[in-house]
Amino acid sequence: MRGADEGAIGAAPHDPARGAPQRQALGDAMASLFRNLVSRGTDAAQDEWPDDLEAGGRVADHDDIRHVLQTCCDANAEALVLSFEDKSVCPARFIALGDDVFRLSLDGDLPPRLLPPTQCSVSLRFGQRNRVFIATVLSVRPGELSGGALELLLKIPGEIAAGEARMAFRVPILKPDDLALELRVNGAVVSGARPVNVSLIGMLIEVAGSAAIAPDAEVEVSLRRGEVVARLRAEIRRNDQGRLALFFPEALEDGSLEPPEELRTIARELELLWLRQRAR
C-alpha cells in the first residue's frame, strides 16, 4: 500500500521501560473503555482472525500480529488511541500496513503531545473481546489515504494483548455529583441510595436497611447524568452488608450485549472521567 511504509523510521528511539507500569494500567483501562463505547462501526469478520484471538491471552507471533493488523486495515476498523503524555483519547481507523509500520487516520483532533517518538496505546474491539497494544509514533502528517485527515505512522508492536475479560467493566463513581440515582423497590422510592459503581449490565448500590429488601422484589433504577436519563428494570443478584448488586436484564439480548443507548452514554462519560483521574 502506497505510503504505509514511509515516514520517520529513523526517529530517535523511545525508552520502552519508561513509565511501563503506568502504560500497562492505562492500556488495561483503554481496552475496557473501548468495550463500553460499543461503537457501531465495521468489525472484522471472526473467521478472518487468528484462532487464539477469541480465547484470550496475547498474540506475540510476528506473522499473527501482521495478520491482525492487515485484517483491521482491510476492514477500516475503528480504534481508540490514548496519548500517554497528556492522557488524551482520540478515535481513529486502521488504513494501511507496511513492512514494519502501519497507519491510522484520526477521526478527531490530534492530542497535543502525541508527537514522535512518543508511545501510545491502541485499543480495538472484536466481538465481545478487546485487544490493546503499545505502539511508537514515528510521524504525524496529513494523509493521502484518508482524504487529508491527519494520519499516524506507527511501528508494528511486538505483541497484542487481551483486554479486561469482563463483559462490561464496572466504573467506580468518583463523586456524588457524577451520577444521580433514584432507586425504587416495589414502586416506592428508597431514600439515601448511593451508587458505588456501574457497568453496561448492572451496578452496585449502597443503601441503608437493604436487609429488609426481599431477593425477589421489583426493582427499578433511574440514572441521570446531565440531560441523559436511563430508566432500567433491575434484578437483585446480591444483598450484603448494606450493598445491593443489581443486574440489568434488558442489557442482554440473546446473549449479546445490547444495553439501552442512554446507559451506553452514561457509562462512556463516567469511564472517561475515571480514566482521566486514574492517569494523573
The CATH number of the domain holding residue 212 is: 2.40.10.430
Please determine, for residue 9, whether its predicted confidence score (pLDDT) is greater than 50.
no
Domain of 83, CATH number, reads 2.30.110.10
In angstroms, how far is CA 17 from the centroid of its own chain?
24
Please determine, for residue 41, whether its predicted confidence score (pLDDT) is greater than 60.
no
Q: Does residue 44 belong to any structural domain of this protein?
A: yes
Beta bridge partners of 150: 142
| Rounded distance between C-alpha atoms, residue 108 and residue 90, angstroms | 6
Residue ending a domain, among 95, 129, 162, is 162
For the beta sheet containing 228-240, the strands, ordered from the edge strand earlier in sequence to the opposite edge, are 171-172, 194-198, 202-206, 243-247, 228-240, 219-225, 180-185, 188-190
pTM of the model: 0.48
Residues 121 and 208 in one domain: no
The whole-number pLDDT of residue 277 equals 72
The whole-number pLDDT of residue 64 equals 81
Residues 141 and 26 in one domain: yes
Which ranges constitute the DSSP H helices of 20-175?
Answer: 20-37, 62-75
Residue ranges with strand state E in the chain: 58-59, 78-83, 89-97, 101-106, 119-126, 129-142, 150-155, 160-162, 171-172, 180-185, 188-190, 194-198, 202-206, 219-225, 228-240, 243-247, 252-253, 256-257
Contact 272, 33 (CB under 8 A): yes
Q: Of the spans 80-84, 230-234, 242-246, which averages the highest pLDDT?
A: 230-234
Residues 201 and 151 in one domain: no
The whole-number pLDDT of residue 59 equals 67
Give the side-chain half-sphere CA count within 13 A for 50. Answer: 20
pLDDT band at 212 (very low <50, low <70, confident <90, very high): confident
Number of domains composing the chain: 2
Give the side-chain half-sphere CA count within 13 A for 117. Answer: 12
More confident residue, 41 or 183: 183
Q: Does residue 11 belong to any structural domain of this protein?
A: no
- The one-character DSSP state at 189 is E
The whole-number pLDDT of residue 38 equals 34
Residue ending a domain, among 162, 182, 197, is 162
Q: How much is the average pLDDT of 235-251?
A: 90
Give the side-chain half-sphere CA count within 13 A for 37. Answer: 21
More confident residue, 36 or 263: 263
Q: Could you list the residue range(s) of the whole structural domain that residue 190 is in?
A: 171-279
Max Cα separation, the chain?
A: 67
